[in-house]
């Protein structure tokens, strides 16, 4: 049992609720048998959905919650109404209490970020958490952060994001020095906002052992795979994410229209069907579903609200990988190197709390 990973799930979260969260969990269990689950939500709805998956039911517990956070609810309102009693809060709280290793929710993004921050708090020395996602590239995958956990960032926060993203890259791959770049309007050192230029200077001078800082990158570099981690503040990161998702859908629609327009095009589609299937898989957002909130005293995964069963399964598998590869410990190690004063303060606070 020591090798098991326990996941707390906001069962009512997302556009589809238990029909996806339960089925997605069953799919994840079929892939990784050492998973265990805590489901938080309306027991009258969750229990029947769980009963349809006997293997999952044997390794799961259902915890009834009277309050479910609405997808359109304002974060402040959700926090006031759902703190301590909503399924979303209790999903996160299970990680804080040590009952679960990772929390996964497809619910309201803003509410999840606020509740996670209030419940788990940030690690010593880290001011704000970041939302990190995995971006498909021509050479594999790239981690991009922040995707909208907060707007704006000073130089130190951008350096922290580099640390967080590098630790995540190390957790997902065998790269001990992931390539990290700062998203900017040009690659020249004189370009961009002062905060970005200062963050670049700090990373160059520190030369952290687990970060291969390559300098500034531009927006078109994200898909090329020139870096393993792309760092930006939340406003630009969220726009970049939504633009990429929209472009992928646009390309898919162009292809669909052209392949059905004429008889030769339809014949061409049949001949190239395998190639188009591969392209569709690469562009499928479900494959890389599951953004990670980094910098907290625990792991929280945000699944896309509209994710289907395979997409929610991907988010759960992402959480399992984060736990198994010790992403929280890696973040603490890297942050202590860059900010030894913050680590010392955190250790002192822990010592006082233990007295």
In a domain, 129, yes or no: no
What pLDDT score does 288 carry? 67
The helix (H) or strand (E) run that includes residue 10 is strand 5-10
Q: Which residue reads 């633009």 in tokens?
A: 243
Specify whether 170 is located in the same domain as 270.
yes
Specify whether 153 is located in the same domain as 48.
no
Specify whether 251 is located in the same domain as 116.
no
List, edge to edge, every strand of the sheet that includes 229-231: 60-64, 35-41, 5-10, 102-105, 299-302, 291-294, 130-137, 140-145, 229-231, 179-183, 212-217
Q: Two tokens at 274?
A: 């395998």
From residue 353, alpha-carbon distances to 125, 220, 239, 350 in Å are 17, 47, 41, 5
CATH of the domain at 36: 3.40.718.10
The predicted-structure confidence for 205-246, as pLDDT tens digits, reads as follows: 988 888 999 999 998 888 888 999 999 998 998 888 888 778
The predicted-structure confidence for 86-132, as pLDDT tens digits, reads as follows: 999 999 999 999 999 999 999 998 899 999 999 999 988 888 899 99
Specify whether 31 is located in the same domain as 150.
no
Q: Among residues 289, 244, 252, 246, which one has the least CA distance to residue 20?
A: 289
Specify whether 70 is located in the same domain as 179.
no
Specify whether 43 is located in the same domain as 146.
no
This prediction has a pTM of: 0.84
Specify whether 281 is located in the same domain as 145.
yes
In a domain, 335, yes or no: no
- Of 238, 258, 287, the domain-final residue: 287
pLDDT confidence bin for 172, thresholds 50/70/90? confident
Specify whether 231 is located in the same domain as 101.
no
In a domain, 173, yes or no: yes
**Cα–Cα distance between 137 and 76 in angstroms, integer?**
36
Find how far residue 291's CA is from the centre of its chain: 2
Domains in the chain, number: 2
**DSSP per position, 322-347:** HHHTTHHHHHHHHHHHH-HHHHHHHH
**Cα–Cα distance between 118 and 205 in angstroms, integer?**
34
Specify whether 230 is located in the same domain as 93.
no
Please answer whether residues 175 and 335 qualify as being in contact, where contact means their C-beta atoms are separated by less than 8 angstroms.
no
Specify whether 76 is located in the same domain as 148.
no
Q: Two tokens at 80?
A: 């006031």
Specify whether 184 is located in the same domain as 313.
no
Specify whether 268 is located in the same domain as 300.
no
In a domain, 127, yes or no: no
- Determine the structural domain holding residue 310 and report its residue range: 1-121+296-324
């Amino acid at each position: 049992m020591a090798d098991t990973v326990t996941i707390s799930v906001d069962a009512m979260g997302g556009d589809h609720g238990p029909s996806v969260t339960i089925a997605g969990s069953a799919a994840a269990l079929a892939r990784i048998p050492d998973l265990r689950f805590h489901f938080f939500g309306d027991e009258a709805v969750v229990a029947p959905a769980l009963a349809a998956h006997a293997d999952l039911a044997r390794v799961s517990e259902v915890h009834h919650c009277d309050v479910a956070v609405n997808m359109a609810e304002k974060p402040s309102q959700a926090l006031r109404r759902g703190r301590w009693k909503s399924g979303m809060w209790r999903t996160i709280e299970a990680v804080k209490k040590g009952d679960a290793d990772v929390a996964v929710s497809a619910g309201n993004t803003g509410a999840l970020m606020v509740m996670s921050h209030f419940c788990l708090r940030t690690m010593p020395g880290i001011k704000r958490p970041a939302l990190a996602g995995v971006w498909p590239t021509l050479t594999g995958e790239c981690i991009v952060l922040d995707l909208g956990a907060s707007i704006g960032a000073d130089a130190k926060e951008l350096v922290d994001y580099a640390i967080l993203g590098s630790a995540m890259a190390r957790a997902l791959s065998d790269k001990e020095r992931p390539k990290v770049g700062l998203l900017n309007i040009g690659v020249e050192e004189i370009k961009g906002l002062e905060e970005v230029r200062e963050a670049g200077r700090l990373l160059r001078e520190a030369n952290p052992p687990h970060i291969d800082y390559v300098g500034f990158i531009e927006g078109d570099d994200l898909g090329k795979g020139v870096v393993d981690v792309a760092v930006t503040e939340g406003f630009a990161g969220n726009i970049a994410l939504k633009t990429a998702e929209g472009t992928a859908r646009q390309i898919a629609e162009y292809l669909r229209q052209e392949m059905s327009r004429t008889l030769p095009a339809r014949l061409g589609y049949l001949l190239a069907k395998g190639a188009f299937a591969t392209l569709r898989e690469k562009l499928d957002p479900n494959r890389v579903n599951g953004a990670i909130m980094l910098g907290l005293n625990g792991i929280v995964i945000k699944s896309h609200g509209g994710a289907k069963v395979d997409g929610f399964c991907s988010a759960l598998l992402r959480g399992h990988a984060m736990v198994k590869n010790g992403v929280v410990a890696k973040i603490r190690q890297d942050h202590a190197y860059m900010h030894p004063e913050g680590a010392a303060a955190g250790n002192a606070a822990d010592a006082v709390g233990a007295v």
